[in-house]
């Protein structure tokens, strides 16, 4: 049986521990190359990376693996994940490869892949690669080895793409922005995008040293952005994560806007532009207040499993365009094939400019319900689905909450923990309900 290497977002782990080692990455590049050559005689891939020091080592190993299978390689250098997806599609390449562990600390790293269309690849493709990893390598002869070269101006090409996702008439003149790139892949891209559109730009988190990615800055540590917006008296702050596919925003009053709120603004602005939006995809964690607010403007919300990959799958199956997660992974498939923090921020700023109102005013009808999340460690061998006391507590909570809240109970996929979440307009009631269910689960 083939070993499972792929998770919900590629292959990820601690550098120096299997599978994030140079020898495995060489094998991986070779295996992926052999899978590609089933459909193309001489495939070409592009490899991009974030700013982690380990990226150099893993890039070299993957490059050698691809070359040994007869695959040509283009090297973009540091570039956001959505930038690699864009280049793969724009240059008609066979595969896009990103070396990144996204919002994780620098000691982690990983690899994820994009199809020729700039989309994340399905489970079936990943299964083929894992099966190929179990086979003995088949090196091509010297004449058939792949070649590698640096891709000229990958950064500039992606900057122009980001700008092309908003109308030429959009100007950010008179707007002061703080851009926080988390010392990650967008450090030399995001500031230029917003500056070239006319904004006055202040930067933080744009000085990577290989070790400081996501360290106290970026979308997962927004306090640095809140402080900088206040210090520089900026209109808005934009925080990305290490590979720039995630977005958080801050306004001049110090309000932090999460992905659920930003998704609502994008959807409402599409209504204003086009008159109709068939639907929006969120996740099991999308705030109920946003679901209700969308319903008031005639947009239904469908919930997918947690993970932008599952949001994308649901959007594709329904032919819809807008979706996202509370964490700030936002998808606008009429603008890009994958989540893009820079492109999403431009969509929000476009809505602000078009309406002549602040972001807070665009969200005046949306007040997020407080969420209580309790992690309950499960006893070995316990089956929470058969816990009668937990089921009784859940039914009682749902009756008490009515239409003013909801309950979500789900097991962790990585540890023996049950996650009990209650979301309610009345935060105190929600906490009481969550605590009762957590106590019932712990008593199993």
Tell me if residue 102 is catalytic: yes
Cβ contacts of 219 within 8 Å, gap of 6 or more: 103, 180, 182, 239, 240, 241, 246, 247, 248, 327, 328, 341
State the catalytic residue, choosing from 54, 76, 102, 344. Answer: 102
CA nearest neighbour of 167 among 339, 350, 345, 330:
350
CA nearest neighbour of 183 among 326, 338, 324, 53:
53
Handedness of CA 304, 310, 311, 313 (dihedral sign): negative
Residue 214 tokens read as 């996501």
Distance CA 203, CA 189 (A): 11
CA nearest neighbour of 334 among 166, 186, 194, 172:
166
Q: How far is CA 5 from the centre of its chain?
A: 20
Residue 73 tokens read as 């390689």
**Backbone φ and ψ of 316, nearest 5°:** -65, -40
What one-character DSSP code corresponds to residue 142? Answer: G
CA nearest neighbour of 55 among 92, 104, 7, 9:
104
What are the angstrom distances between the C-alpha of 198 and each of 173, 236, 329? Answer: 4, 14, 25
- 15-38: b or e for each residue (b if 16 or more CB lie within 10 Å)? beeebbbbebbbbbbbbbbbbbbe
Distance CA 101, CA 17 (A): 14
Element (H, E) at 420: strand 417-424
Question: Omega of the bond prior to 19 within 30 degrees of 0, cis?
Answer: yes
What one-character DSSP code corresponds to residue 10? Answer: B
Q: How far is CA 327 from the centre of its chain?
A: 8
Q: Crossing angle for the helix pair 22-36 and 54-68, nearest 10 degrees?
A: 40
Q: Hey, which residues are catalytic here? A: 102
């Amino acid at each position: 049986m083939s070993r499972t290497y792929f998770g919900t977002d590629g292959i990820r782990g601690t550098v120096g521990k299997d599978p994030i080692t140079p020898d495995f990455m060489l094998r991986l590049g070779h295996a992926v190359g052999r899978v590609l050559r089933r459909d193309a005689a001489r495939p070409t891939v592009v490899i991009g990376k974030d700013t982690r020091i380990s990226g150099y080592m893993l890039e070299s190993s993957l490059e050698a693996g691809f070359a040994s299978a007869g695959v040509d390689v283009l090297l973009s250098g540091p570039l956001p994940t959505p930038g690699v997806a864009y280049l793969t599609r724009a240059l008609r390449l066979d595969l896009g490869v990103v070396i990144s562990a996204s919002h994780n600390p620098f000691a982690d790293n990983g690899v994820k892949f994009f199809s020729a269309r700039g989309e994340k690849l399905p489970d079936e493709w990943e299964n083929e690669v894992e099966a190929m990893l179990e086979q003995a390598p088949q090196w091509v002869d010297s004449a058939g080895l792949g070649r590698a070269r640096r891709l000229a101006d990958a950064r500039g090409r992606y900057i122009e793409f980001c700008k092309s996702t908003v109308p030429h008439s959009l100007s950010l003149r008179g707007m002061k922005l703080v851009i926080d790139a988390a010392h990650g892949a967008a450090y030399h891209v995001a500031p230029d995008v917003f500056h070239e559109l006319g904004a006055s730009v202040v930067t933080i988190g744009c000085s990577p040293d290989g070790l400081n990615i996501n360290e106290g800055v970026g979308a997962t540590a927004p306090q640095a952005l809140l402080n900088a917006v206040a210090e520089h008296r900026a209109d808005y702050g934009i925080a990305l994560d290490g590979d720039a596919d995630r977005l958080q925003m801050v306004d001049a009053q110090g309000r932090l806007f999460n992905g659920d709120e930003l998704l609502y603004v994008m959807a409402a602005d599409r209504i204003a532009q086009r008159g109709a939006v068939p639907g929006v995809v969120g996740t099991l964690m999308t705030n109920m207040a946003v679901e209700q607010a969308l319903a008031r403007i005639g947009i239904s919300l469908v919930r997918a499993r947690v993970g932008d990959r599952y949001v994308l799958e649901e959007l594709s199956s329904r032919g819809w365009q807008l979706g996202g997660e509370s964490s700030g992974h936002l998808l606008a498939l009429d603008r890009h094939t994958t989540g893009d923090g820079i492109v999403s921020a431009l969509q929000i700023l476009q809505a602000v400019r078009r309406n002549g109102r602040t972001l807070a005013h665009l969200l005046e009808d949306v007040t997020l319900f407080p969420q209580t999340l309790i992690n309950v460690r499960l006893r070995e061998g316990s089956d929470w689905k058969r816990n009668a006391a937990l089921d009784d507590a859940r039914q009682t909570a749902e009756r008490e909450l009515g239409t003013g809240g909801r309950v979500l109970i789900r097991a962790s996929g990585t540890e023996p923990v049950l996650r009990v979440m209650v979301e309610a307009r009345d935060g105190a009631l929600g906490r009481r309900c969550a605590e009762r269910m957590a106590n019932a689960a712990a008593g199993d």
